[in-house]
Every structure is written in structure tokens, then in C-alpha cells.
Structure 1
Amino acid sequence: MGNTFSFFRLALNEFLDNLHTFQTLQARIERSPGLPLPNPSRSFWTYPPSPIATHVSQLPTHADFVVVGSGITGTSVVRRLLDCACADGHDIRVVMLEARDACSGATGRNGGHISPPLYHDYTSLKRDYGRVVAQKMIKLRLAHLEELRSVAEQEGILAESQWREVESVDVFYNSDMFEKAKRKVQTYKADLPFDAEHHEVYEAKEAIEKYRLASDTLGCVSSSAGAIHPYQFVTRILAKLLSQYPDHFSLCTNTPCTSILPPTPSNPYYTLSTPRGTITTPHIIHATNGWASTLLEKLRGKIIPFRGNMSAQRPGQSLPLPDSNATSHRSFIFYTRPIGYDYLTQLPAGEHELMLGGGFAQDGDEGYEAIGNTDDTTYSTRIGAHLSGVLPRYFGENNWGREGVPLEGEWAEGRVKALWSGILGISADSIPWVGRLPRVICGRSEPPLSSIVKSEKEEGEQVHVGAAPGEWIAAGYSGEGMVHAWLSGKALAGMVLGREVEEWFPDIMRITEKRWKKARAENLLDALSSD
């Protein structure tokens, strides 16, 4: 009887602990993310700061389109709006509002990976949405490799953005996880032969020798991917847009949108409040990802903030350095346990810094402390300790060799040059949210159709620019913004302009009332706890 009681007591304590954790998470998820905090942790990407980092245009009293957020999504939206509308002869005004410095959110704080989850997600996408839709999602992710390179070339910033093709290597240390991965690769290669040639499986001995990994590596899966300097990519495009469209584009950094008022009989537009004044517009485009539900309360629990952690580290002296040959560039994802992973890419110049992020499961309670956390002024000390010490473990101490000798500079002189954090936006149903916000979600009435933006194409002739007025969004990339955000923003801009949606855009990413009702944070928490 005593043993039975003890077992019951332990089970009850575990249940109560889990219940408390769940209730704590639930409360955190349902609260407002607030505005981005001032003085965020120092991201290695953002130094030296861009010349337009603190650019403040004069805030007009009215704009045809207001974009909230200056990361990769907002930049993609603004670029297409301006290029398309101005090419058609429309005299439009686009305003971008940013709460902090330009590109100071997740885009300027991530790992720079253009590494689409392909075989990893294909099986579950196929199960949930069918083969055709699953393949469309995979193709969208793959398309970002060429799209980002093409944009960088068009803007003349290919070298500055450090775009490069890399071999992406998934490394496994758990036999069950590796066997599961191999089965997924088989399904993927059978269903998507157009990409099959880019995936190879290496068993332990060959993987260790080929990639110079630690001796307990059980195997690898390699594929093609890319990498980029995300901050340089975005800020250089924004700088070019300011120069190219001085009469059409305004960038207002350190100008948060603090509230939105709906149209009224006396004012047929939305009114956005900022510390610099108010601005009216028929179109609001939300490009704030993890902070989206600050202004859109009904998205709390649908797009969930999540604090990720990153580092910049000097490589060990025995590691081979990438050279001008593109085939020498590699990125890695290290899978050591079912929940979370670490991801690594290497810069092509300078000290050839290793950009390492992850450590989700090291953040206490299997990473739950990161969920709903919007404080990027600091980073998790537990994750920082993990990231700071794990690289010689992954590559093997002999392969790592002596610590790298630091060059003179303003960063820390040890292995780890910098540690910082960033706020991601996790989708409750794992799919990005893109499109026009239904009224039930934005909670505000829409401007009347008569207030659609107009411009003079020819003297005396008025033409409409844009779809029906309203609020729009592209967000919720679940940590994979570099393979979702740019084309999501491009597609969204087309929708705002009233154009036919491109054939390549997956309809499952559209935001609808039905999807909004179905997506529940509890499902995401259950999935995390059951992995």
C-alpha cells in the first residue's frame, strides 16, 4: 500500500507540475507581446550599422499603403508595391514604420540560413494536405534559393549580401532519429524526383570522414541550400528604394505604431498613431511576425512569439576554411534529441565566423521558457553556455584543434565573439499566415470602397490602385523565415495591388476565418510535449 501511495503521489506531482507549466504557457501566449523593447542584445550581423539604420523620413499625414515592420517581409512588400505601381504610372505613397532601428528584428538576428525543410516536413504536409499541396509548399521553399540570389543580382548587392550556395548537412547522433530521417528521404525522393538528386544519405563511417565530424556521429543527410547576410540584404535594398523612389517611399525608424483606429463617418481611413504623429491610410500591411498580435489581438495564440538564440564564434584552427570554390561552403544542422536542434553556417570572409544558433531544449522545461518570450534585450544563459561549448563536441576535439587566434576588434576575444537573441513568430498550425485579414480577426471595420487609393494616370482620368481597402499580413514562419518570408511578401503585395495571385503561391497559407478558428495553441503545445 505504501508503494502504491508513493507512486500515486509522484504521478500527482508530475501532473500538477505539467498542469502548472501548461497554465503558465497559456497565460503567456494569450498576453500581448507589447512593442519591441529598446536596446536589444547586440547582433553580430548589425555591426557596423547600415547608413539607413536610424533613417527617419518626415511622417506624412496620409499614405496609400502603410507597412509596419522593416524586416525581410516588409522589404519584399514595399519593393513590389513601388516597382509595380510606379511602373504603371501611379503616384503612390508608401510608408514603412519600424519600432526600432531598420531591420532590428528577427531578420537582422537570425542565422542567415536559406535552408528549406524539405524531406523533414514533406511526409506530414502530404498527410495533412495531400501530395499536390505538399509539393507546392516544398517548391515555394526551394524557390527562395534562386529568388534571393536573383534579387541580390538585380539590386547589385550580390557580393555585399554574401549570398552563396552551400551544401547543407543534417547530422544525427540518435539511431531512431536517423532511421526515421532515412525513411523520410526515401518518400521524398520517390515523390519529388526533380529534387531527388540533391539528397544523399551517408552512414556513420563515410559521414565522419567526409565532413570531419565527431566519432559518435551515426549518419548524415546532405542536400543543397544557401546562406546570406540577412541584415546587409535588407538594409541595402531599403537604401536603394529610398534613393530610387524619394517622392514615393518613406522609412520611419524608431517610430512604432502604437494603436490603430478604424474608419469613421467623418474619416474613411484607418488612423495609425505613432510618437511622431498620426497617419491615415486605406491599407495596413502587418509585417511584424512575432509581434503581430500586439496590434492584432485576435491573433494571440495563433502567431506565438518565441525567443531564439544565436552566436558568432571563431573556428578552431584545424577546421578547413571555405575558399572561393562554392562547393566548399557548408551549413550544418545537428540533431541530438527529438526536440530542437542546433544550426550552423560559416561566413565566407573576415574571420570566417561560425554562426551557431539553437539550443532550444537547453532552456529549461524543454524550452518552454522561450515560448511567449519577447525580451530580446538579453539571451538565455543556459543556451548561451550550450552554444559556447558544443562545437568541438560536434566536430571532435582533434578536428577542432587549437582555438582560433582573434583579430583585433571590438568583439569578445575568446571563441565566442557575440551572443544575442531574436523573436520568432511560431504559427499554431505550422503554416505561415498570408493575405487579407478577415474583419473578425482584425476586429476593426473596413474603409468604404469609395476610399480606395486613386491617382491621376492622365489629366482628368482617375484609376484605382489596389484591392479593396483593409488590413493585410504575412507572418508566422515558425523559425523558417528565410525560406518563406520574401515570396510571402511578394505574393501579399500582389494581393494588395489587386492582382491575380501567382500560381506558385500555396493556398494553405491564406488567412481565413475557418483556419483562424481551427488553429489552436494547445495543439502546438501537445505536439511539443508528445515528441
Structure 2
Amino acid sequence: MSSTIAKPCPSSLLPVKDSTTPFWRTQLHELDDHQSTPDLPSLCDILIIGGGYAGIAASYHLLAGEDSNLETSKPSVVLLEAREACSGATARNGGHLRPAVYAHLSSYIKEYGVEAASELAEFELSHVKAIADLVEKEKIECDFTLTKSFDVFTDNDMAEEIKEAYFELKAAGIAKTTMDDLVWTEGEDAEKVSGVKGCVGCFSFTAAHLWPYKLMMALLSRSVAHGLNLQTHTPVTGISRSSSGTWTAITPRGSITARQVIIATNGYVSARLPEYSGKIVPCRGICSRIVVPPFTQHPHIDKTYGLRFPGGSHDYLIPRSDGSLIVSGARSKFITDQSTWYNVVDDSSLIESASNYFDNYMQDHFLGWEENGAYVERIWTGIMGFNDDKIPSVGEVPGREGCFIAAGFEGHGMPVIWLVMRGVVSLLNGKRFEDVGIPRIYKTTKERLDSTTQVGQVSTTS
């Protein structure tokens, strides 16, 4: 095979330098802008491009996790991050570890079959325990809180449709563990149980919330301690494969060659893999931190929320131990103007049409919060990756042997990525996709790349 030449990607596809500051990055880790060696290594066994959830999880599974053989020689692993470590979507999300597939199960069953849909539902639910076990094992201080979550519906027709689908799936025994974890409340009790004004029906189920930056940086620290070479402020502007089968990444600091490469850049993936252009598209979202003045009276919130409003708008909320709340969504304010969010990589500015959305949010939507003076302390944006078929793309890239992708998590990576990357590491070690525990519908294939659909009017999950 002849070598392929890496063409520099347009700078418009790379992360911008001066991003908004999310709450999660107000207490920075010592590895935030770390470079393990002054110069970029010229060679390594495995190169990871992207220093967020997926890239950090991959490094941990390779070098420090229970699947790595710490008694034998480990592969040399280098992780390249364009900006600071964990400065992208992972540090800009809602800190919400919340399975959310039941509402989509009917459509998944129609598209992929009962077995595949059930597999996906159980996979997401299993992440809550997996992350809980990880935090306990590694003794990570990241505000991890196991709780329940409400999925709130304020539209009668939507609530009725979701409820009917739930009971049909439950009666059929599909995704039993997931279905058994759900509790449905409707009518007058729904508003009282959820605490949300206008709620006509709600599910409650197991979920968790945490400080995502602290979790990821603790895992990154473990990886560095086990030999990871971390190189922040090192954007990859192109990759190529040689006739010998190795991969070379081009950066402003020089080139590095690896036996295998993992592209873990989510919404920015088409900058390195142009075949995913139009298949995985960067989409901008907005998030906030709401603070409550001291000594004010209001009902205590200890559950997380997904709030679904008429017209398809979907917000989500987590309470924090310091009394503040993280609230994200606001898509009803900007969804019709694609120029503000679609194919946008700029997280240095706000979405102006949504910048005031979270003002008086608690007062407007939660019972008993009308007079407490809760206000927006901080607001920021982040870049997600959306797929044309709404399913993440994972596995060896078709036609690119030794190059693996994990991207397009639809703003819903928290209950997906950890075990996905454990599976990806198994793929690097030669296992078949069908044997590594990743939902089969996540597999990136030529058929998916060749489909004629493009990312268009997409909607977020929590």
C-alpha cells in the first residue's frame, strides 16, 4: 500500500483558543496544561487524539484499568489535546450521569430490532454502577452522588404517548432491568411529586451527578502515573498512513508516528477524518450555573431533572451539594436559527438568543421557588457531536486499518463513553466488535458512511 499524505485541516474545524469558562473548570488540576516531555515524542505504540472523556477513558483502560496487565510491559501511549486537558464538551456538560433511552426504545426497535434496542438500554443503565464502582475503587473526590432523576412532561399528548410506549415495552419484557427501574406518576400527583409547575406526567429512575472535570482529571492523573505521555496545547492538523501501516499525526510542534491511533475528538472528528463530514457535525449548546442567595426559603431539591416542554424543547438540571444548580438546554430559543449552533465550533461566545433563558428559571418552573432570588452566576457554551442517524460512531474506521473512532455522542456521552472506551481498547488488542460489549448499533460501518442522510434538525438529550 502506498502512503497517504495528510492534508492540513482547516483551522475553522479546530477548537478555538479563548473559550468561555464553565463552572467545572474553576478549580484547575495540576495537569491542566501539562506536557510530559518538553518535546513531542516521534514514536509511540498508541496515539490518542482528544483529551476529553473518551480520550482520557481510553488512556486509563490502556494503562491503569483492571483490563490492563500491569505485571507486563505496557504499550507506549501518547495523548494529544488541542487546548488544556478536559477543556471541551466533557467540562462543559451538566455533570449528569443519566440513562435516557426508554423514550427512544420504540423507534430503536423499529429500526434495529428488539435485541439491539434492549442491549442499548441495558448498556446505558449499567454505567451508573460502573462509574460508582470506579469512583469508589480509585477514591476520587468528584462530588459523585447517586440519586433518582425525574423525566418531566408538561404536554398531555407527549406524556400519553410516552406512557403507552412504556407499558407496552414493560409488558413485552423488553429491556427488563431498565423498565423495572422506571416509576411512572401522572395526573395531579405528577406536579406534587416532581415539584415542577405544569407537570402532567413524570418518570423517576436511578441516576447520578458529579463534577466531570474532577473525575476525568483524577483518571488522567492515574494514567500519567502509569506511563501516559500527555501533551496539551498540541492540536493535530492532519493524519496519514504509511506503506508500512503506521499512522503519523502532524502538529505545530512536529509529527508523531504510531502503530494505532484513536480519534476521540467528538464534534471535531471531521477535521482528521473528512469522510465523517456531514455525518458527525459540531453543534453548540449552552449551560448555566444558578446560585441561590443564602437564608432564602425554598423546597429542597435532591433529584436531577429532564424537563420536556411542548414543541420538543428539553432542558436538564442537577442540584449540587453547595446549593447551586446546573441547568442546560434552552434549545427552543435558538433551534430555528441554525447559524447559531449547527456546524459551529466556537465555544468562546454565548448563543445570544438564549443568553437570558436561564434568568428566573427556578422561579418560573419549580413550585415554591417564586421568591427566593435564584440567579445565574455563570453561563457558558460547549461543542457537541451529532450524528446523521443519532447513534454514536465507534470502532475501526472503514478503509483505515489501525485507526479507531469514538465520536458523535449526541450530547449524551456521560452514560455511554466509559464502557465504550473499554471496548475500544479491546478492539485495539484484536478482539471482534461483537465481543467487546459495545452496543452493536454503535459500530461505524461503510454503510453508515455511505448513507445519504445528513445531520439536520437534531435535538439534544441530557
Which residues of structure 1 form unaligned runs of 5+?
1-30, 323-328, 405-414, 447-469
For 1:175, the aligned partner's letter is: N
Tell me the residue number matched to 1:272: 249
Pair 1:347 & 2:330 matched: no
Write the mapping of 1:134-153 to structure 2, written as runs, cut at 5 A.
Answer: 134-153=117-136
From 422, 431, 437, the counterpart of 2:382: 422
Q: CA deviation at 1:399?
A: 3.4
Which residue is 2:201 aligned to?
A: 219
1:321 CA displacement: 3.5
The residue number in structure 1 matching 2:413 is 481
Match of 2:447 in 1: 514
Q: Secondary structure at the match of 2:355?
A: helix
Deviation of the 1:107 alpha carbon = 0.5
Is the contact made by 2:121 and 2:175 (CA closer than 8 Å) also made in structure 1? no
Q: Which amino acid counterpart does residue 515 of structure 1 have in structure 2?
A: R
- CA distance, structure 1, for counterparts of residue 270 and residue 330 of structure 2: 26
* 1:156 paired residue number: 139
CA shift in 2, pair 1:295/1:503, >3 Å: closer
In structure 2, which of residues 356, 369, 373 is the aligned counterpart of residue 403 of structure 1? Answer: 373
Partner of 1:207: 190
Change over 3 Å in CA distance of 1:193–1:418 after alignment to 2: same
Q: Give me the CA root mean square deviation.
A: 2.1
Match of 1:49 in 2: 28
Indicate how the Cα distance of structure 1 residues 169 and 346 shifts in structure 2: closer, same or farther if over 3 A, else same: same
In the alignment, residue 296 of structure 1 is paired with which amino acid? L
Residue 268 (structure 2) aligns with = 291
Calculate the TM-score normalised by the size of structure 2.
0.90
Larger Rg: 1
> Is residue 132 from structure 1 mapped to residue 115 from structure 2 by the alignment?
yes
Give the letter aligned to residue 222 of structure 1.
S
Is 1:34 paired with 2:13?
Answer: yes
> Is the 8 Å Cα contact of residues 107 and 230 (structure 1) preserved in structure 2?
yes
Structure 1 CA distance for aligned equivalents of residues 306 and 292 of structure 2: 16
CA shift, 1:264, in A, is 4.2
- Alpha-carbon distance between aligned partners in 1 of 2:457 and 2:299, rounded to the nearest angstrom: 42
- Give the letter aligned to residue 128 of structure 1: E
1:326-365 alignment runs, 5 A limit: 329-348=302-321, 350=322, 352-363=323-334, 365=336
Displacement, 1:88? 5.7
Amino acid at match of 2:448: R
Map Cα deviations across residues 208-227 of structure 1 (whole Å, 9 max, x no partner): 2223322x332222222111
Q: Secondary structure at the match of 2:357?
A: helix
For 2:164, the equivalent position in structure 1 comes to: 183
Give the corresponding residue for 1:492: 424
- Superposed CA offset, 1:3-59 (max 9, x none): xxxxxxxxxxxxxxxxxxxxxxxxxxxx98511000110110011111110111112
Q: What secondary structure is seen at the aligned counterpart in 2 of 1:385?
A: coil
| TM-score w.r.t. length of structure 1 | 0.79
What SS does structure 2 have at the residue aligned with 1:279? strand
**What is the aligned partner in structure 2 of residue 238 from structure 1?**
220
Taking the aligned partners of 1:519 and 1:339, their CA distance within structure 2 comes to 25
Q: Matches of 2:258 and 2:458 in 1, distance apart?
A: 40
Check the 8 A contact 1:33/1:291 in 2, yes or no: no
Would you tell me which structure has more helix in proportion to its own residues? 1
* 2:368 is the counterpart of 1:370: no
**CA distance in 2 between partners of 1:318 and 1:298 (Å):** 54
Structure 2 portions without partners, runs of 5+: 1-9
Matches of 1:139 and 1:488, distance apart in 2? 13
The superposition leaves residues 191-220 of structure 1 with CA deviations (integer Å, 9 ceiling, x where unpaired) of: 233333322222242122223322x33222
CA contact (8 A) 2:122 2:178 kept: no
Deviation at 1:271, TM superposition (A): 1.8
Aligned-residue identity in percent? 29
In 2, Cα distance between equivalents of 1:46 and 1:526: 30
Amino acid at match of 1:314: V
Instruction: Specify whether residues 113 and 435 from structure 1 end up closer, same or farther in structure 2 by C-alpha distance, changes over 3 A only.
Output: same
How far apart are the structure 1 equivalents of 2:62 and 2:168? Answer: 39
Q: 1:403 to 1:81 in 2, by over 3 A?
A: same
CA distance in 2, matches of 1:153, 1:251: 25
Kindly indicate whether residue 49 of structure 2 is the aligned counterpart of residue 68 of structure 1. yes
Tell me the number of residue pairs that the alignment of Structure 1 and Structure 2 aligns. Answer: 442
